[in-house]
Each structure stands twice: as structure tokens, then as C-alpha cells.
Copies of this chain bind each other. A is one copy, B any other.
């Protein structure tokens, strides 16, 4: 049985992982982003495909996304909640993300994110990630909402 204090420590460790990963996204550092992902990750991203199986397929997608989103990167995690056990953890957040156009104007929207971790050989790795925006079922268009 794991003590509450140990679990609180693990939750802190997951928040540090999430912050480091978000920092890597803002830096557009694909290698550093992918240092957080398991080779067998199954990812449900907000755009383009139903799913991406494995880090190689997901990396190619991230590279296309980075190319689509020019200028200084906006990537902020809000309302982060984390739960952790000995070998599994997950977190969810609202994410303000986007880029900046050539005139310096911010182009951003709010998304939702769920991230699921497994500890392997003492290191936490993301084995599943889910990003999305909600849509309006009347016209199948994305709803760009603010919290």
C-alpha cells in the first residue's frame, strides 16, 4: 500500500513532467517533446486523423503541425488536474494554443487535453494522449470557446 505522502510526491512529479513537456512544445523542440513519449504511444490528436499509433507516426504529425503554426508558439496549460498511483498516472487540462502571424497578431484557441502515463524503468512516459476541441452538432463546425 502506498502512502498518501508518496502519492502526493508522485503527483508533483507528474506536474513537473507536464510542465517540462509544455516547455518543449513552446520551444518547438521535437526531440525534447518526444523524450516524454513511449515508443508505443496511441495518440488521438485534434486534427487530421482518428489516431496515431506509435511515436514515429505521431512525430511526423507533430512536424506537420509545427509547420502549420508559424511564429512564437502559444501553449499554456490551465486547470491542470493530476492523479497518480505507483506505476500509472494521468492528467487533464484546458490548453490555450496557437501561433503568431507575421504582423505579430496572436491566433489561438482553447483545446482540451488528457495525458496518460506509465512508469517504465523508473521514468514516466506518455502512453496515451488525447487532444480535441468540441464541435457544434448542428453544422459539424468547431466551437472555439473560452473557459
Interface residue ranges, A against B (CB under 8 Å): 2, 42, 44-51, 68, 79, 81, 83-90, 92, 94, 110, 112, 114, 116, 118, 127-128, 130, 132-137, 140-147
A40 to chain B, nearest CB (A): 10
Residues of chain B lying within 8 A (CB to CB) of residue A116: 83, 90, 92, 114, 116
Q: Is the CB of B135 within 8 A of A44?
A: no
Q: Is the CB of A83 within 8 A of B127?
A: yes
Residue of B nearest to A109 (CB): B140
- Given A87-B85, A88-B85, A90-B90: A50 and B112 interface contact (C-beta under 8 Å): yes
Q: Is the CB of A128 within 8 A of B50?
A: no
Q: Is the CB of A112 within 8 A of B44?
A: yes
Contact of A88 among B47, B89, B135 (CB under 8 A): B89
Q: Is the CB of B134 within 8 A of A45?
A: yes
Q: Is the CB of A135 within 8 A of B135?
A: yes
